[in-house]
Structure 1
Amino acid sequence: MGELTPAEIGARARYFRERRGLDQAVVAGLVGIDKSHLSRLESGKRKWHITRRGFLETLAEVLGCAVSDLTGQPYAAVGRAGTAALAVLPPVSRVLADTTLDDVPDLPARPVAQLARLAAEANAASADARYGAAGPDLARLLLELHVQAVRGQGSGVRRAALRALVEACIVAVGAARTLGNLDLAVLAADRGQAAAARLEDPALSGFAAMSAAVVLTRANAHYRAERVLTTALNALERADPGAADTAPAEAAGMLHLTCAQRAAKSGDADTAATHYAEAHALAARTGERSTLHFDFGPSNAGAWELSGQIELGRGAEHAEQFARRPPPLFVSADRKAAWLSDLARGHAQGFRDVQALHHLDLADAAAPRRVRHDPIVRALVDSLDARGRCRTEQRLLDSLKARVRAG
């Protein structure tokens, strides 16, 4: 699917509103904007200057559709890397639809140690947003891990296969979510959670739950997201950040960050602050860690809080504070790109558009597949272009526009 213009996105919003039989005043009130603003959005007379993910998710929820229905995801692939990334998804979907944790085809599978190594390598590539590199063999990997988890010789082999399957499902979730296939992301998240549950490993279940909750929130499945987070956090309530194995505390911290982000998107600043405080306290004890490539520590806790403050409309102040600090110590390119994109969003909230443009450029250099498939980034580039504050950097702005359109 190609790039949608603001007028086309507005037309889609109008279509879903009218299909539900809602008038503009009702939708505007539920979303938290005035009717005239919504009218301009629907008519294409106003660019979609969206810097808050919560706004886009709330609008989709009110209209009874998915965010991807409004934004046109998955976007068309341009170039070898983009085509390779999108090509990962259909085979993965077929494998997950054709297997369960109890019933698999009678097929040969490679040794589980080899499969576990391949899952770890795929996760490392995914953490750097190299989805094409992560997944040319992801479907086969998932299939063989299912086979070993069900038919493997001995409980040790089956447990090792389940553990690697959780990691491979996390890879599938990340690729599908970023590339705009939320249905597949939810399916992969469910399978990863089920595999983790059979291992009775609270830390692994916590990481799988965090991955699932992010996808469920994007899909506006808020009840399930809340249940998943609550259950996982309860299982990790006694996680000791000072223990030799910090994985349970890392998982708990990531779950608190996810809860905080959900609260911030809904405008609940107090609940968000409570969860951010819990995450910061855990991070101060664990230090910088990266179990399963989930960066957790003081750097990531701070970066997630920046993202939450943007959702609460306080991004400008926090982006300025972050810009004066040393760069965070991120292991993965994906997290680095997310932090730089959030710095750009925060600067844009404060009308520091040149700073926003430069941070978007750095984010794109860090993880182009992640950045170019993000509808918020695309909307932000449109906003920077329309506001006309980057004319001294017109060449850079034009370059970034072309890169984002290329996908």
Structure 2
Amino acid sequence: MFSCGVRRRHWFREGFMHRVAITGIGIVSCLGSDLESVAHALRKGQSGIVVDEQRRQLGFRSPLTGQVRGFDAGSVLSRKQRKTMPDFALQAYYAADQALALAGLCPDEIQNEETGLIFGCDSSCMAAIEQVDSLRAKGETKLIGSGLVFRSMTSCVTMNLNTLLQTRGACWTLSSACSSGGHAVGQAADLIALGRQERMICGGAQEINWQSMCSFDALGAFSTRIDEPHAACRPFDADRDGLVPSGGASALVLERFDLAKARGAKILGEVLSYAFSSDGQNLSVPSRVGLQRAMSKALDGAGLKPSDIDYLCAHATSTPAGDLAEAENILGVFDKGTPWISSLKSMTGHELWMSGASQVVYSVIMAQKGFIAPNINFRNPDSVTGRLRIAVETVNKAPEHVLCNSAGFGGTNACLVLRFAQ
């Protein structure tokens, strides 16, 4: 007779009925607003982190931020369409449009009940501020713009994309702090694997304005190494002193593998498994076992051993406690034989709600271009992180099996295992 744990693992393998292909990706980040620019930055280890003078003048402890370049919101949609969309929703649409173009889906394949949307997003700050400021300035609610009610909702990304793309399947936003994007990709993959949807547009979005970051800055969690912005974010390094906030949007098109192959789509990769866990301990301090449980479940669901993973895309945000906890969780799974590891936040900063989805997009780019991006600014290992196989320089080898970690406040963890053909 099966124990509960064995039965769960067996059900996961049996329940994952359909293979899940990745056929499209798109990104708007501080590394670029097109795939080639982002690929170049990843390969060269180029940071997108800058000092925002406005934050300095406002009294931020840390004026550091990732800065999105090359994205013109006014060129994406009409003024009327933009009325209900904050910047990060426009960026999500732009990223989704990139992904759909790469996937080569025609309108009929998108505008039906078998195509759905899930994005990870945990806040929409600016619209709430703007509507309150408008009321105070004008003295009556009827003068507040009608678009603000939609822009202020956490679900603004999926509700707007659903309307613009005319999908008729799943449509919701998933909110789980900094693991939101990872869970969104995982849940989208689950819907396809379980036969609930044939294709999904999924990803994550994060606003990058100072208004959404001032309360985070008050926590003292940001790096204050403002004399070297490009070197401020130092995941796993002994001298790490805090994260750097960032944002933008990332998107993927996932499809039932057999259907994608039948229509002649280029298969960029495959989502082998998705697993999750929660720490059940502390709001802001990660545990030494929670992420480990999710990683082990993801490997088990993919039918892989730890030694099968050749690249681990780490969550590490450059905080003293967080990076230490992730390092210990990784060692708990891989022991002395860790794969190549890098935290791309060393270049992008912490993309917060979108970061889990971004890691998947970045991993696809690396696999397609034949390299593993470095964990820049890793100069001095500590007694724990020194046991990890950190990629301090670009590794000129395409990853085949990738494990992506994401974690968030409240102890929520998401892990994805990806496979890329060699």
The interval holding the TM-score normalised by the smaller chain is 0.3 to 0.5
In proportion to residue count, which structure has more strand?
A: 2
TM-score (norm 1): 0.32
TM-score (norm 2): 0.32
